[in-house]
Amino acid sequence: MRKNGWLGWLWEILGVKEAKVARIIDGLEHALAAKDMPQAEKLFAELEDLIPTDERMAELREQVAAARAEAAIALSRENEAKVEHIKECLENAIAAQDKLRTEWFFAELESLIPTDERMAELREQVTALPGPKNEMAVDLGGGVTMEFVLIKPGSFMMGSEVIDDAKPVHKVTITKPFYMGRYEVTQEQWVKVMGHNPSHSKGAKNPVEDVSWDDCVAFMVKLRKKVPGLYFILPTEAQWEYACRAGTTTAYGFGDDDRMLGEYAWYNSGNVGMFFKTHEHEVGGLKPNAWGLYDMHGNVREWCLDGFIFYQWLYKGSDIISDPAIINSPLGGKVLRGGSFHDAPESCRSAYRTYFDPSHASAIFGFRVVGGVPTAQTPQPSAAPKPVPLSQANPPAGKSQSGASFTERDNMGTRHDTSGMATAYWMGERMSMTRKDPFVLFTFDRAEDAKSALLELPCIHVATDSRKLICTEPLVFGYYQTGNGFEAIICGDDLTLELWEQAKQSFAKHGGRRKNDSAPTKRSSPPKSGQAKPDAVIFLREDVRQRGGHPCIYRVHKGPDAESAKAFLSQNPVTRQLLYLVVETPEGNYCRDIQGIYKEE
């Protein structure tokens, strides 16, 4: 902000202004060299505000203009390659008579080249295909299935003018069809995928509860492996409200009269505040909404993919937004939608929204699944890799992508913030490494070398949608500028010895100089014959105990010896507070909490 009057005069006399200008110019030159245009534009705007008439600005304006032109050419090339890739995927889907995928790829193509002459013929081919099935069932084994309902594209008015956190009402367009879980995920479904039941009130057909957002993401990862070929994820907040409203504009999916709520939802009809008077019920026991979805207004609240942010920060009432998804939020929390058996009618409305820390679990928190979305399963183009700017380079040759592309939603670890620091996140929450965490830290002369070294690691990728670096393991990673060049780091409690060694080799290969490292003891390879076997540990029970004035969950297991207990605990990380894994053995009890593994005194 420009300073005027006597304050501006004092600011200049003390040299504060020139020191700040020098820092910004230095940062701008580094951003231009790294082809980081968002950061360059930000710093250039600051200079325009501070020294608009300074003689240095003429040269800087020329440099920024040239960088903009170069970025525009690179983006044009990238979009052209992207169009060809999506067109190839679309033609393959048409040949396979896969209407769901054709509509996804056609919508992506239409957003890039809506007026292209090729679109008319493709539109005819897509329209001529028979529609996708209105229902889908996924077999989880043992007679347990998961049912889905097809939700077709369309537009709706999102939000409510009578709910502060849901203002303003704004128009949202869902451009692609998706499958939504007919019911909330049940306890028997959770057990089939995860192998245990965290719920307080047990019942095979009851919704699973006492699950955090982190737990839900872990469930999705395992479900994708269990049912290959389909992609499962939490619904975005927009998808959830669109499906809940089912074409309505009223307070509830059935109208405005909350006296009818009991026909559609298990909720707290007595409004008893903090005292639980009821519990969750079997899913599907009441009426569905117009699109065949049950329990959208009650039973348990449902986690959504999005980070919570106030609509006023993003939208005006006149805005029209397509497929919004807030991956991260400065508020840190993740969105919960729908009411619960504990909530009063006003908290069960279609537009009602709240948020909690992604590690927080509660007896009124559950979720449902969006399935069949092909985004992360999109095959790679058969042609040569598409050209992209150097700052957004593809992984080095030889790195296996397992035939799949990765999107922002596949991010399981940290995200690199290119504004100048490596800011670490775990599931959207800021984190930092501890003194005990294993790590590898090297210094590089160029940002490109640091990035290439990281991308050679099997868990780090360039997201095909956002072009950001993402990690598919819960590790801290990044590269950032220092006074001596650029530092690249990978670290975390889940860093295995194999990956640690790979990182050191890759960092050295790309011209890095070792600054420091700390070796892990954990290995990812299976135990050899004669070593401890974690599968020898069996589950006994789940207890709730008071500890430090808080109710804590203790999942108690039994193991044959200390080594098997340690092996089991090392392969089952705890990612949230107030959760404890316990393995009872003849040699004593071994435990794991969010801090690590220890022997119970």
What local confidence, expressed as pLDDT, does residue 235 receive?
A: 94
Reported confidence tier of residue 389, pLDDT bands at 50, 70, 90: very low
Which pLDDT band holds residue 440 (cuts at 50, 70, 90)? confident
Least Cα distance to 233 among 305, 145, 338 occurs for 305
What pLDDT score does 533 carry?
60
In the predicted structure, residue 366 carries a pLDDT above the cut 90: yes
Beta bridge partners of 207: 186
- For residues 510 and 456, is the Cβ–Cβ distance under 8 A? yes
> What residue ranges do the domains of the chain occupy?
73-128, 135-371, 410-518, 534-599
Q: Mark 361-388 as b/e (b = at least 16 C-beta within 10 Å).
A: bbbbbbbbbbbbbbbbbbebbeeeebeb
Distance in angstroms (rounded) separating the CA atoms of residues 31 and 67: 10
Number of H helices, E strands in the chain: 13, 25
Question: Could you tell me the pLDDT band of residue 564, with boundaries at 50, 70 and 90?
Answer: confident
Quote the CA–CA distance of 469 and 464 in Å, as a whole number: 10
Lay out the sheet containing 538-547: strands in order across. 538-547, 550-558, 579-585, 588-593, 596-599
- What would the mean pLDDT of 224-234 be, rounded to a whole number? 83
Please say whether the beta carbons of 406 and 461 come within 8 A: yes
CA angle (97, 103, 109) in 5-degree steps: 120
Lowest average pLDDT, out of 110-114, 218-222, 365-369, goes to 110-114
Cα 309 to Cα 289: distance, rounded to the nearest angstrom:
27
> Between residues 535 and 448, which one has the greater pLDDT?
448
Identify the pLDDT of residue 382: 27
Rounded Cα distance, 251 and 350, in Å: 6
Q: How many Å apart are CA 357 and CA 222, to the nearest integer?
A: 22
User: Which tokens belong to 340?
Assistant: 């619960």
Q: Is the pLDDT of residue 588 over 60?
A: yes
In the prediction, which pLDDT does 271 show?
46
CB 212 within 8 A of CB 234: no
DSSP 116-174: -THHHHHHHHHHHSPPPPSEEEEEEETTEEEEEEEE--EEEEES-TTSGGGPSPEEEEE
- At residue 323, the pLDDT reads 86
Q: Which residues pair with 137 in a beta bridge?
A: 147
Do 265 and 295 touch, CB atoms closer than 8 A? yes
Q: Whats the size of the chain, residue-wise? A: 601
Average pLDDT score over residue span 447-455: 86
Instruction: Fill in the amino acid letter for 108.
Output: E
CATH number of 135-371: 3.90.1580.10
DSSP state of 488: E
Of residues 399 and 130, more confidence is placed in 130
| Low-confidence winner among 210-224, 364-378, 475-489 (lowest mean pLDDT) | 364-378
φ, ψ of residue 138 to 5 degrees: the values are: -110, 125
**Quick one: average pLDDT of 67-76?**
78
Alpha carbons 571 and 235: distance in angstroms, whole number: 29
Q: For a pLDDT cut of 90, what percent of the chain falls above it?
A: 26
Q: CA-CA distance, 346 to 281, in Å (whole number)?
A: 20
Q: Which residues contact 449 (CB under 8 A, 6 or more apart)?
A: 486, 510, 511, 512
- Which residue is it, tokens 């594209």? 153
pLDDT at 574: 73
Total Cβ atoms within 10 A of residue 91:
14
- Of the two residues 9 and 355, the one the predictor is more confident about is 355
Contact 372, 100 (CB under 8 A): yes
The region that residue 4 occupies, defined by phi over 0 for left and psi between -120 and 50 for alpha, beta otherwise, is: beta
- What integer pLDDT is reported at residue 408 of this predicted model? 59
pLDDT for 328 equals: 64
Which of residues 411 and 424 earns the better pLDDT score?
Answer: 411
Do domains 135-371 and 410-518 share one topology? The answer is no
Beta-ladder partners of 461: 470
- Of 368, 305, 363, 366, which is closest to residue 334 (Cα–Cα)? 305
CATH number of the domain at 410-518, out of 3.30.230.70, 3.30.70.2750, 3.40.50.300, 3.30.70.260?
A: 3.30.70.2750
Pick from 51-60, 237-246, 507-516 the range whose average pLDDT is largest. Answer: 237-246
Q: Three-state SS for 183? A: coil
Assign 3-state DSSP to the chain and report helix, strand, coil percentages, each to 5: 35, 20, 45
The CA-atom distances, in angstroms, between 289 and each of 15, 265, 570 are 66, 10, 44
* Percentage of the chain lying above the pLDDT 70 cut: 77
Indicate the pLDDT class of residue 385, thresholds 50, 70 and 90. very low
Q: Average pLDDT over the chain, rounded to whole?
A: 78
**Kind plus residue range of the DSSP H or E element containing 91:** helix 56-95
Both tokens assigned to 119: 């679109």
Instruction: Give residue-wise pLDDT tens across range 456-473.
Output: 888 888 876 667 777 777
Does residue 127 surpass a pLDDT of 80? yes
Instruction: Flag whether pLDDT at 157 surpasses 90.
Output: yes
pLDDT tens per residue across span 264-287: 999 887 644 333 345 678 999 999
Is the pLDDT at 526 greater than 50? The verdict is no
pLDDT at 263: 93
B/e letters for 136-168, b = 16+ CB within 10 Å, e = fewer, are: bebebeeebebbbbbbebeebebbbeebebbbb
Q: What is the pLDDT of residues 474-522, one digit of tens each?
A: 677 877 776 677 888 888 777 888 888 899 989 988 888 888 888 887 5
- Let me know the angle formed at the C-alpha of 522 by 520 and 527, rounded to the nearest 5 degrees: 150
Mean pLDDT of 441-469: 82
Structure token pair of residue 218:
């872990």
Rounded CA separation 107/390 (Å)? 28
Q: Distance between CA atoms of 551 and 225, rounded to whole angstroms?
A: 33
